[in-house]
Every structure is written in structure tokens, then in C-alpha cells.
Amino acid sequence: MSRHRIKDVDYDEDDFYDDDDAPADPEEQEFLQQCTTAVLHQLSAGQPSVTATKQEVQDALWHYYNDIEKSVNYLRGKREKEATKLQKSKIQSVPAYPAPPSTAHFSSADFFRDCPWLNVPSHRKADILIEPLYPRLGLLGGAPESGGKLSKLAALAAARKKREGEKAPSLPEASTPPTPKFEQSKITSLDLPGTSRSLRDRLAASGRSTPKASEGSGSLRRLANPSSSPPIPEQPTSGTRKPSVSEVSESMQKVVLEAKEEPELQQRVLTIRASPSTFASTIVGAATGPTAAEPSHLHSNSSDLLRIYGQDHAEPFDFAAPSPDDVVLNAQNTAKGMKSKSAASKSAAAKKGQSDLAGGMKDLSVEDKVTVKSKNLDVISEYKKSTRKRSANFVVIGHVDAGKSTLMGRLLADQGAIDQRTLDRYRREAEKIGKGSFALAWVLDQGSEERARGVTIDIATNQFETDKTAFTIVDAPGHRDFVPNMIAGASQADFAVLVIDSSVGNFESGLKGQTKEHALLVRSMGVQKIVVAVNKMDTVQWDHERFEEIEQQISAFLTTAGFQGSNISFVPCSGVLGDNISRRTNDPHASWYTGRTLIEELETSEPYTHALEKPLRMTIGDVFRGGVQNPLSISGRIDAGSLQMGDHILTMPSGETAIVRSLEVDNEPSDWAVAGQNVILHIANIDPIHLRSGDVVCRPSSPIPTITSFTAKVLAFEHLMPMQVDVHRGRLHVPGRISKLVASLDKASGAAIKKRPKIVGPGVVVRVVVEMDQAVPLEAPTRIVLRAGGSTVAAGLLE
């Protein structure tokens, strides 16, 4: 009710989209009519039977969101109260209704401009005291507009009341058919030309095109509405509480006259009577003043105290209804954003069914959170249906300056993944700083530092496609300081391309350096297949003997490292010139080589299977700002499981949840992604503080455990003793220490050879306990690498 008051006072002509007076759509109208009939029937059927006007009923329905029972309760209660009030008014001639808490300062003269009693002689006029500015219903400063919107609190209360109303016990039903005469008399009495009319009535009369409006402004409820209209006193029928129709109509006529005669009295009363507090009107119901609600428990025959709160505790809680939280959320949301939603549609929507409401509310939340509707795809079947090309990830490894980036730059240029113009630009810029030979490497070395120094620092991923396969290149740095980055790259790879500098001296130094370390690393990280690109063959004039020498040494080494002979292949090539990369060399010296070119060799790779069915695991490779629309993005390769848009994800070790707004697979937007794919997730609802590269993304339902200590079976590359090590797993690397050498193991059988060895030498398989300072998301079986002092000391499997 307070909403009405507020609105009435502040009504403005251009306020046409205001909730209450917006014409309801026909569907709602029809619904309203149905409800009205039902209420009227229930009222008349109830014991004691009560009558009410259609308008009154409709107003009540509006307030109770078309809840029939509640409306009936309300009207009944009001009648009872009127009956008791009448007793008093008989004696005192004091209107039973308190003054409205008005919200705005208004001119009383203006307000009562066309009231007949403006013409009363001045000696009869009382001083009209201007109503002080009462706080309007709602939080101070909370409601954005003066009238139309409920404050959050008020909306919350209304929502709660409505919910409780649903559970309220149905009233005892009895019968007295509604008397048209009563209605008639009432309307006439109110439509008397001299009758004072509330501003609201005026508006209703002029503005409404609804049947509600046509029914007239003279609803009983409007009388109850403490405007300037007097109440309708009923004859005290204390014994039976069955007011006869004639009595009522008589008394009404009388009161209307009284009202004409005694405006002063009424005004005086208005000033002395305290208006209902905001709290009270919120709690008891916005629709009625506190006085209207009182009788419901004070005077009703079945004085059920619980009904004060509109709740019957004997009634089992209906869990089908939205939970209190949902109601709160809905109310908050209503108060916040949806201005254009009309009250009528609101009530209709509320009536449409709880399931609808609850479902809608799920999408709403307290904060301005991003919500993405999941398409609920069956990702795995989608994946099987999809006609993607076979995809393969490979990592390019090798000693520093072996020509990895250049070789890959050449591959990309030849496959058209990079356009000639860009390449020309790189060439120009590279020549400008005197590093012309690095132009091709710049395709992958995008960092300013990398370009200035001519060395790859971090891994770079790039895609290209052949007729059969979509490849993802992971270009790893060769420098020993950046082996951690290389480990991150190798963890994303299905197979590896080992680039070897065939020029004199460089091959030998590389073999001692990262050629060896990288090869061991990729092997220990589970890579089976390795393609050896013997690069820079042009510098040794495609010397066949040199190639054979390298082939022999490398294959011997790779075999000892655990690669199968059939999985090792050698290609002599030249990255700078592009010979034997995607085209055969024209060099006459190289005529001895008749094998496959590098690209052909890459295409022989077998398709790789990934753990699609397992719980989601994805190691974050990078956290970055994906652009204006995607303020927070993470990239990485899905290790296991699948993912789709709208999924909720959990990042460990922070334990924070986020939602996937959208995702990209190989830089193409997609709705889903599966294990083995390189993805970029655009996420929301998380603070970037909680995201670091190396963290693991999983599902809240199956989170990855975080641990501070683990046992691992590792192959020692160097001497191991209790020592400080860095633990690497993909992008994740943390400091830790080997706290215990449990036992050295037999390589083949895995049986313990020596318990608690003091130290183990290179090549020994040993079970160690590693402790870390911080909790780290790791779970068995995971391949880990232990490094110390800038070199890899061990690699193995977490147990």
C-alpha cells in the first residue's frame, strides 16, 4: 500500500512506464479476472461470509501476487477490523484509519483543491497541519527512484510474505453469496459528486483503461486506504459478526455524510495519530495499515497466533517452493535492475509457477556476476561427431642455437601459416639490428628481449595445417637457463622434434649440453616418438658422412635414453634455406638423401589418444588479458577430461571457482574442448590474484588434491642425496627438497635393491620422498622432473 501512496503523491504525467498503471496485457487481465472471481467466491463462501468489491479484490490480489488465499485472508481481516473500529467510531466519530505516511511535501490546499469541504466556512476550518516528512518505505537512500521501486528490504519482505502466504492455512469456508446491492450502494456512495476523492482515485478514473478502472474508483480498499476518504463503518454485530447487507449500506451512507461534515475532525486525528512505522508496515504487509492487520489475530474467532506472521507451523514446509535464499535473491535482483518489468507482469510471472521462478532465480545472484548458460552438451559425443582433422602437438627441442626457432619459422612460412608480408617485415627489422639470419625465428620469438638477444626465452605455440593433420608447434627454448620453460612445453607435446646443429663443433657441444638433457626430459615426460632434424646441413655441404656420424651417435644415445629404434627418424635439412623441410633440396650434394622431408616425417605420426573420460585437469600455462571483452583469460592444454562453455571450474591450489565465459580451441572459438587440445579459456567471477601459471584447473566435483610431500619413483640423472631440488610439472615449478631416499630399485622389476642409500648415482632408479614448502596440486600418476643447481637431476613418476 505504501507503494501506492508514494506513487500517488509523486505521480507525474510522463511517468507513463510506471509499474502500477501500465496497462496489463490481455493474458494477465484474464488471469486477474479468474482470480478475482475465485476470491469473491471464497469470501462469500467463508464463515463468516464477507463481501468485497471487485476492485478491492483485485487490489488485494495485486498486493499478494495473485495469491487467492492470501487475498481472502486479507479482506476478511479487514472486514473484521472495520467491524471493531466501527464500535469506537460510533462513540467518538473518529476515523479508524491512521494518516498516510506521506513522502513528499505537498501543499494541502492544492491537494484538497476540488474537495467540497474547501468551501466550508472558515470558522469551521481547523488548522491543517502539514504532515511531516516521514521516511518512505524502503531503505534510506536505497531506492533509486522516489516511488515506483521497492527498496531491497521491502521487496525482500514482500517476497517473504508472499511465500509464507502460500503456506498459510486455508481459511474455513462458509457461504453467503455476494450481494450486488452492497456493491451498488458502495459505488454510488463513493461516486457522489461531493465525495472527496483521493488523488489516486482521480488518477485511476482518468488513466485506467482496464476493467479494473471501469469498475470505478470506489473500492472498499481505497476507502481503507487512508487517504482523505473516510472509512466505512459497519454496524457493530459483535455477537454474530454477520453484518447484514442493509445495515452496511445504511451505515455507509451515513458515514459519507459524516465525512462531509467533519473534515476538521479527521484532519486533527490525522495529526495526532502516529503513522505506522516503516518496519511495521513492512512486516504486517504493505497492503494494509497496521490497524487493518490487527483484528486478524486480536478479534478473529480462531485466534491463531501463528497467523500473525501468516505462517502455520503445523503445515509441513513445502520444499517445492523456492527456498528463502532464492526469494531473497529474486527480491534483490528485482530491486536492482529490472525496472521495466511491470508489476502486473511480475505478479503474473510469480503465478506462472514456482518452477519457473526458481529456475529463473538460479541465474540471478547477489553480485554482478557473469552468468553463462551452459549448452549442456555431451562433449565426448560432440567430439566423436566432429570432423576435425587429426591433430598433433609436437615440441621442438635441442641445444641453444641449433636453429629450432628458425626451422619452425621456415615450416610455418612454407605452410602458409605466416604471410609473406609479415616475414618481409621481420627480415627488414632483423637486418636493422644486424641479426638478419634471425628473421625466421622472429615468427616464434615474439618477445622484445628474445629478439634483441636472439635467443628464445619462453615457449611459443603456433598452428599450421597440412592436408591430413593440424599441427601445433611448441617451440621450446634451448638455453639451459630456460629449461623450466622447455619442460612446460614438453608437457604439452605428443611427440618431439629434436633439432641438431650439424656444423663442426656445435654438434659436439650440443650433445654435452641441452641436446642430451632435452632428449632425456621429453622421454621422461612420456614422449615416445622423436624426429631428429639434423639442421644446418648446408654449412657442412650436405656431407653424407657427417650425417651418418651424427645419426649413429644420436640414435645410440636415444636408444639408451629409452626411445625405441622404430620411433626415431632422422632428416637432414637446412632451416635457413628451407631444404628438406617441406620441399626437397636442390643441392646436388644432397642427392644421397632420398628419405622423407621433415613435413612428411611429421605426418607419419600416429594419432594420440587422450584421457577424455577422466576428470578435468588442465595446467594453466598463462594468465593474461584476452582483450576488452575478455578481461581475464587463461591458456593451456587440457591434460584430461573435457570442458564446455558455461562450466564452473575450480583452480587449485587457490581453491577458487570461476566460470568459463567462452573458450577457444587452437585460436578458434568453440563451445567445448577435450583433452589434448590447446585452449584459451575466457573466464569470469574470479580474482586474477588466484591464478598463476602452473595452477591446475579442475571441476569442483572432482578437485585435484594439493600436497606438500610425495613419494616418487625417479630415474636419477645425477647423484641424488637428501638435497634441495626444484619440482617441475609442466608450468608448475616449486622449490622442495628430497627428504629421504627410500630405496634404490631394480630397473626392470622395481624391487628394492638397497634400502635407505646414502647417495645414488646417475642411471639408478630410486624411490624418494620429496617435501615442498607450499601445497602443490599434484596427483598420481604424474610425471615430475627434479632439478637442482640449473641441471636436471632426476625425472620420474609420482606414486
Partner 1 sequence: MRCIKNKIEHDGSGAVTLCPTEPEDMWHAYNLIRPGDLLRASAIRRVTTVQDTGSTSSARVHLNLLIRVKNLDFDPQSSQLHVSGQITNETPHTKIGQFHTLDLELNRNFTLEKEVGADGEGSGWDSIAIESLKDAVDEGGKRRAEAVAVVMQEGLAHICFIGQFQTILKQKIEMSVPRKRQGGGDHDKGMNKFFKITLETLLRQMEFNTSLTSGANNEAVRPVLLASPGFVAAGFQKYIQAEASTTTPGLRRLLPSLVVVHSASGYTNSLAEVLQSPAVKTILADTKYARETKLMDDFQEQLRKETNKATYGPREVEFAVEQGAVGRGGGVLIVSNRLFRSQDIAERKRWVGLVDRVRDVEGGEVRILSSDHESGKRLEGLGGIAALLTFPVVEPDFDSDAE
Q: What residues make contact with partner 1 under the rule CB under 8 A? A: 446-450, 453, 457-458, 460, 462, 479, 481-482, 484, 621-625, 635, 688, 691-693, 719, 721-724, 726, 733, 735, 737-739, 755-756, 758-759, 761, 787-791
Task: Name the nearest CA neighbour of 643 among 688, 687, 693, 680.
Answer: 680
CA separation, residue 673 to residues 124, 540, 570, 667 (Å): 84, 45, 34, 12
Whether the CB-CB separation of 81 and 98 falls below 8 Å is answered with no
Smallest gap from Cβ 649 to partner 1, in A, equals 17
Considering the complex, state which of residue 77 and residue 730 has its C-beta at the smaller distance from partner 1. Answer: 730
Considering the complex, state which of residue 599 and residue 632 has its C-beta at the smaller distance from partner 1. Answer: 632
Please return the burial class of 354, using the count of CB atoms within 10 Å of its CB with bins 0-12, 13-18 and 19+: middle
Considering the complex, state which of residue 102 and residue 792 has its C-beta at the smaller distance from partner 1. Answer: 792
Smallest gap from Cβ 764 to partner 1, in A, equals 11
SS (H, E, C) 644-657: ECCCEEEEECCCEE
The residue type of 577 is L
Smallest gap from Cβ 441 to partner 1, in A, equals 13
Distance CA 20, CA 33 (A): 17
Please return the burial class of 121, using the count of CB atoms within 10 Å of its CB with bins 0-12, 13-18 and 19+: exposed
Considering the complex, state which of residue 187 and residue 759 has its C-beta at the smaller distance from partner 1. Answer: 759
Cell numbers given for 237: 454485530
Distance CA 271, CA 343 (A): 32
Considering the complex, state which of residue 11 and residue 624 has its C-beta at the smaller distance from partner 1. Answer: 624
Smallest gap from Cβ 461 to partner 1, in A, equals 9
Distance CA 20, CA 25 (A): 13
Task: Name the nearest CA neighbour of 257 among 111, 98, 93, 69.
Answer: 93
Distance CA 102, CA 2 (A): 9
Smallest gap from Cβ 484 to partner 1, in A, equals 7
Considering the complex, state which of residue 233 and residue 694 has its C-beta at the smaller distance from partner 1. Answer: 694
Considering the complex, state which of residue 580 and residue 651 has its C-beta at the smaller distance from partner 1. Answer: 651
Distance CA 223, CA 133 (A): 23
Smallest gap from Cβ 776 to partner 1, in A, equals 13
Considering the complex, state which of residue 12 and residue 449 has its C-beta at the smaller distance from partner 1. Answer: 449
Considering the complex, state which of residue 458 and residue 538 has its C-beta at the smaller distance from partner 1. Answer: 458
Smallest gap from Cβ 680 to partner 1, in A, equals 10
Smallest gap from Cβ 576 to partner 1, in A, equals 23
Smallest gap from Cβ 456 to partner 1, in A, equals 10
Strand 633-640 to 642-644 pairing: unpaired
Distance CA 219, CA 187 (A): 7
Considering the complex, state which of residue 591 and residue 791 has its C-beta at the smaller distance from partner 1. Answer: 791
Smallest gap from Cβ 778 to partner 1, in A, equals 17
Got the DSSP string for 569-591? EEEE-BTTTTBTTTB----GGGG
Considering the complex, state which of residue 25 and residue 481 has its C-beta at the smaller distance from partner 1. Answer: 481
Main-chain phi, psi angles of 787, to 5 degrees: -125, 150
Whether the CB-CB separation of 555 and 531 falls below 8 Å is answered with no
Considering the complex, state which of residue 65 and residue 710 has its C-beta at the smaller distance from partner 1. Answer: 710
Smallest gap from Cβ 422 to partner 1, in A, equals 10
Smallest gap from Cβ 419 to partner 1, in A, equals 13
Considering the complex, state which of residue 546 and residue 733 has its C-beta at the smaller distance from partner 1. Answer: 733
Considering the complex, state which of residue 531 and residue 720 has its C-beta at the smaller distance from partner 1. Answer: 720
Smallest gap from Cβ 599 to partner 1, in A, equals 22
Task: Name the nearest CA neighbour of 393 among 516, 564, 522, 517.
Answer: 522
Cell numbers given for 399: 641445444
Helix (H) or strand (E) holding 501: strand 495-501
Smallest gap from Cβ 799 to partner 1, in A, equals 19
CA separation, residue 671 to residues 530, 642, 665, 766 (Å): 33, 11, 9, 44
Query: Edge-to-edge strands of the sheet including 390-398?
Result: 460-465, 469-475, 390-398, 495-501, 530-535, 568-572
Cα torsion 230, 231, 232, 236 to 10°: value is -130
Considering the complex, state which of residue 125 and residue 755 has its C-beta at the smaller distance from partner 1. Answer: 755
Considering the complex, state which of residue 533 and residue 768 has its C-beta at the smaller distance from partner 1. Answer: 768
Residue 122 CB coordination number (10 Å):
5
Helix (H) or strand (E) holding 405: helix 404-414
Distance CA 167, CA 312 (A): 7
User: In the 8-state DSSP scheme, what is residue 8?
Assistant: H
Smallest gap from Cβ 735 to partner 1, in A, equals 4
Q: How far apart are the first and last CA of the chain?
A: 69
Cell numbers given for 168: 498459510
Considering the complex, state which of residue 57 and residue 764 has its C-beta at the smaller distance from partner 1. Answer: 764
Residue 651 CB coordination number (10 Å):
25
SS3 536: coil
Distance, CA of 311 to chain centre: 34
User: In the 8-state DSSP scheme, what is residue 760?
Assistant: B
